[in-house]
Structure 1
Amino acid sequence: MIRKKKDKCSNLQQRLSIWERCSNIRTLKQIHGFMMVSGFNSNPSALRELIFTCAISISGAMDYANQLFKQITEPDRFMWNTMLRGSAQSSNPSNAISLYTQMEERHVRPDNFTFPFLLKACTKLSWVKMGNEVHGKIVKFGFESNTFVRNTLINFHSNCGDLTVARALFDGSPKRDVVAWSALTAGYARRGDLGMARQLFDESPIKDLVSWNVMITGYVKCGDMENARKLFDEVPERDVVTWNTMIAGYVRCGSCDKAMEMFEEMRCAGERPDEVTMLSLLSACADSGALDVGQKVHSSISEMGFGSSKIVLENAVIDMYAKCGSIENALEVFRRMREKDVSSWNSMIGGLAFHGHAEETINLFTEMRREKIRPNEITFVAVLVACSHGGMVEEGHQYFNLLRNEYGIEPNIKHYGCMVDLLGRAGLLNEAFRFIEAMEIEPNAIVWRTLLGACRTHGNVELGKQANERLLSMRRDQSGDYVLLSNIYASMGEWDGVEKVRKLMDDSGVKKDPGCSLIEADNKELMNFLFESKPNLRLKYNVI
């Protein structure tokens, strides 16, 4: 009897050990094959472990889980719930709704675990109507008083449903439940009601790290970095999310120096940055043109590794170098990459194109096609920009046609805008006008503004007037639109036309923004001397 118990314990430990060691799809398939050969394929306990490992434990195995699940003739409720959970947290959460429909058709009764997974899927998809229907079913089955279900309901209604309903559910819940407090606080913060969010936060009897992060994020999204920093300094403990929120907030507000200072604080505090941290910092360097800082961030990424996120980070490094004007460094990173995706190619092709390297852009695009990497709409925007900067009209037409004919991509407004810019720069204004007239989508103000700018460059008054009329039919409050037409008249010496444009501006109530020059000077003593000796300079220059 004792030996039998020992044998059972030993078998259980072996089975648990097998599933713990299963960390990828290849191993999973080997275990599944062993189950089939050994006759465990019909064992309910083994099937539960198999489905759980597929749907929950191994990233990217959800498709295999769906295939396995379809082969099980009578899955029990645990298996259904596991599949619902896996689907809700996958990249296709709508599958959870389909699964629940099948569950109902097969008369499998849901339990208190079933509906939270459905609500999480609805929240992720922002499916308000479906979420309300799920709420109705929860009431029907009598699960609304269940703490787990009620908290998920509060989270759903706080995120995308009815905040009034969320508040009513919250008021009927135990006031010591920190999950309910956090969910409702987050709801008010996301809807922009920071006053109510802060009131709930202050009144909360228990504040976990999620609550602090929710409130800090609320301030950051509203651009209130002062209050965000105050809370950050008060938080009892911080995780990588807390640090990342502050860093991203400073980047968004354009305070790139503070973002870098926060990064240094983060490292000194012993918190390991993740890929989100590094992406925020690279964005800050790209926006501010801080090449020297960007190089340091790049070095940190190389030291830390980051494994599966490396491609995403390397793409961001290429983008950073390109935006900082260091095409050589961008190319060096690109050529050293062991694996590249379409974003890698787009980052490099875009960097070359926007710096005017037309021939190199086309060569790299040709290499991309030779490597059988399928370009997307972003790729073609960069290629058309290169053609525009290089005056390559014939090639531009060829690539525009290639977009649809070979790759089945419908041109969007950016592709059309690039073609108008290409034709306009080349002085083919009538062809550009006909191209706009033949567009299969409605041209926007930017397209007409592009043509108007080309008319200004080439001194075409008549076509400029037509473009301006189309532009003013869409918007009448942009002073630059009027100024462009006025400049066209002035360049041709038609001063009556200039006067008409000025009168039109006055009648429309549009004021031209005063022009100014910008000087960035490190030697502030020199600038102060200039201002003291020539006080009128203060009216002319805005000094950083």
Structure 2
Amino acid sequence: MPSSALPRGLHAVLVTSGHLRHLDPHIQLPPLLLVNSLIAAFSRAALPRLAVPLLRRLLAGSYPLRPDAFTFPPLVRAAPSPASAAQIHACTLRLGLLHPNVFVSGSLVHAYLRFGQFAAAYRVFDEMPERDVAAWNAMVSGLCRLGMLEEARRVFDAMALRDLVTWNSIISGYEQGGKVATAVELFRGMRNTGVSPDVLTLVSLASADSHLGALQQGMRMHALAVKTGLYLDLYIGTCLIDLYAKCGKLTEATLLFEQMDRRTAGPWNAIIAGLGVHGHGVKALSLFSQMRQEGIKPDHVTFVSLLAACSHAGLVDQGQSFFDMMQTAYGILPIAKHYACMVDMLGRAGQLDEAFKFIQGMPIKPDSAVWGALLGACRIHGNVEMGKVASQNPFELDPENVGYYVLMSNMYAKVGKWDGVDEVRSLVRQQNLQKTPGWSSIEVKRAVTVFYSGTQTETHPQNEDIQMELRHLLAKMKSLGYVPDYSFVLQDVEEDEKEQILNNHSERLAIAYGIISTPPRSPLNIYKNLRVCGDCHNATKYISKITEREIIVRDSNRFHHFKDGKCSCGDFW
């Protein structure tokens, strides 16, 4: 048997098992290849403590061998700390192996970025005399993981050759970084270059489309998955269920679920979550019963979806029962997400004291999401005193999350305590935080248009028509009994200005644009990044009656289906 016929993986197996001595003596194996294979095997098994001594023996001359370019990449990939990566880096420099070999340099770039050492990674990358696509990809993917999207984009734009890994890295980076519109735009660029997508591409695209509420784009992605045969992938199918549910097409999501292989928890979790955000808590619970009957074991995600569904539907008793069931029947220990769902459920139902006691009795330290759920409930029910107590914890645990400051500021504004508003805004300024702007999007004729709250719509080509439609709607609403709720105006201004501010909230701009851009009585789908305010919720009920349209609004918490002057949430959200 020639040495070339012996797989490299077998070398490591033979060495580690102690059977090397039983090999046919006529088989000539390069000794360094054996040592490198053993180092690689230990590194892949996350056992660098066994691989490092071998390297030391090579360097000390214990073997009549010298490390080569294949010795170091496995060690770099398994490096447990930035210091160990730097030590290997120094070793490759001393041996003159770094710059001549892209494998060594590329692995160091990847390792440094894994530890967040951007400057060190860029220095290695910049000094490479030649860079293959793997080295470029290491930079792009590493920067995306660090959230350094602008830097990643500069590297991406400088690449002469991009492969599927490149495109997946940049698309996924923008999608996970919240820049979903850019992710969709990049996908179009990828298709124009002739690169075919894979499962990772379509999963990122499905998530981006679902965040934007871009149903038509999502349907084209679905068609592409069918065309390429990727729709059979379980993960893609689960993402498509999530996509259709988040785009307001719960019937389509349910049909897709019924056609899928449902032997794992993933598809069940997706449809239960979809039913929950649409307010169909009872249906979600019924589906969970069916899941158990079919012998599918629920996981921790299942119970997050169930508890959220109970929260959106006000099913407090059932939610508490599921919280107990996950521990007693399935041995699933609650994590922070489960506790946050419980606090949210109790808080939405107005049981603020019970929610506070629940937090005090938690066996784990409450995180910012748990306290944030209580703070949000205090905002809904106007409990400023408890809101003050709840706000101190998320401010300390997650001081850079401006959303908690906004909740507290809004709570003060709702009850007219403008000194409190000024105090919170001063804290925001001191920490150089930026409030997340409220926006709403609507897809008309395959194009997604985004509107921001305020009167700054002058740049929109149909601004005059939008403002005229808003004025007409306001007059008709008032004739039917609508009275603006100025408690949702978060500025201390005169009352005539307050009406104008409310009438130019982003969801109303999107609704007006949809009315003038689509046939009469056709449904409108609006997607809002923040929670819909109480006045806009009330106004949209009037608009649905005036225009005889179904208006579906998805905000940061749930779906609202407005029709004939009523909302599917029953004013509970």
| TM-score when normalising by structure 2 | 0.64
Which residue pairs with 2:310 in the alignment?
387
Which residue pairs with 2:235 in the alignment?
312
How is 1:213-232 mapped onto 2 (pairs within 5 angstroms)?
A: 213-218=137-142, 220-221=144-145, 222-223=148-149, 224-232=151-159
* Contact residue 138 and residue 144 of structure 1 kept, 8 A: yes
For structure 2, the residue ranges without an aligned partner over 5 or more in a row are 24-28, 440-450, 468-497, 511-573
* Contact residue 158 and residue 184 of structure 1 kept, 8 A: no
Greater shift, 167-176 or 195-204, is seen at 195-204
Q: Within 2, Cα distance between the matches of 1:440 and 1:421? A: 18
Within the alignment, does 1:440 sit opposite 2:387 as a pair?
A: no
Within the alignment, does 1:341 sit opposite 2:264 as a pair?
A: yes
Which of 194, 200, 218 is 1:294 aligned to? 218
- The alpha carbon displacement at 1:405 in A equals 0.4
Which residue pairs with 1:243 in the alignment?
167
- The alpha carbon displacement at 1:299 in A equals 0.8
Which residue pairs with 2:55 in the alignment?
135
- The alpha carbon displacement at 1:379 in A equals 0.5
Within the alignment, does 1:81 sit opposite 2:12 as a pair?
A: yes
Greater shift, 142-151 or 310-319, is seen at 142-151
Q: Within 2, Cα distance between the matches of 1:516 and 1:394? A: 36
Which residue pairs with 1:173 in the alignment?
96
* Contact residue 281 and residue 297 of structure 1 kept, 8 A: yes
How is 1:21-420 mapped onto 2 (pairs within 5 angstroms)?
A: 79=10, 81-82=12-13, 100=16, 103=18, 112-117=32-37, 119-120=39-40, 129=49, 132-139=52-59, 141-142=62-63, 143-153=65-75, 156-157=78-79, 161-174=84-97, 176-191=100-115, 197=121, 200-201=124-125, 203-218=127-142, 220-221=144-145, 222-223=148-149, 224-232=151-159, 234-235=160-161, 238-252=162-176, 256=180, 258-306=182-230, 310-420=233-343
- The alpha carbon displacement at 1:231 in A equals 2.4
- The alpha carbon displacement at 1:414 in A equals 1.4
Q: Within 1, Cα distance between the matches of 2:458 and 2:219? A: 22
* Contact residue 273 and residue 305 of structure 2 kept, 8 A: yes
Asked which structure has the greater CA Rg, the reply is 1
Partner SS state of residue 279, structure 2: coil
Q: Within 2, Cα distance between the matches of 1:420 and 1:372? A: 30
Q: Which has the higher helix share?
A: 1
Greater shift, 141-150 or 419-428, is seen at 141-150
Partner SS state of residue 312, structure 2: helix
* Contact residue 299 and residue 332 of structure 2 kept, 8 A: yes
Partner SS state of residue 401, structure 1: helix
Supply the AA of the counterpart residue of 1:297.
M
Q: Percent identity?
A: 31
* Contact residue 109 and residue 121 of structure 2 kept, 8 A: yes
Which of 442, 451, 460 is 1:524 aligned to? 460
Higher relative contact order (CA 8 A, sep 6+): 2
- The alpha carbon displacement at 1:409 in A equals 0.5
Which residue pairs with 1:62 in the alignment?
none
Count of residue correspondences = 446
For structure 1, the residue ranges without an aligned partner over 5 or more in a row are 1-11, 13-44, 57-77, 85-99
Greater shift, 386-395 or 123-132, is seen at 123-132
Which of 376, 388, 391 is 1:453 aligned to? 376
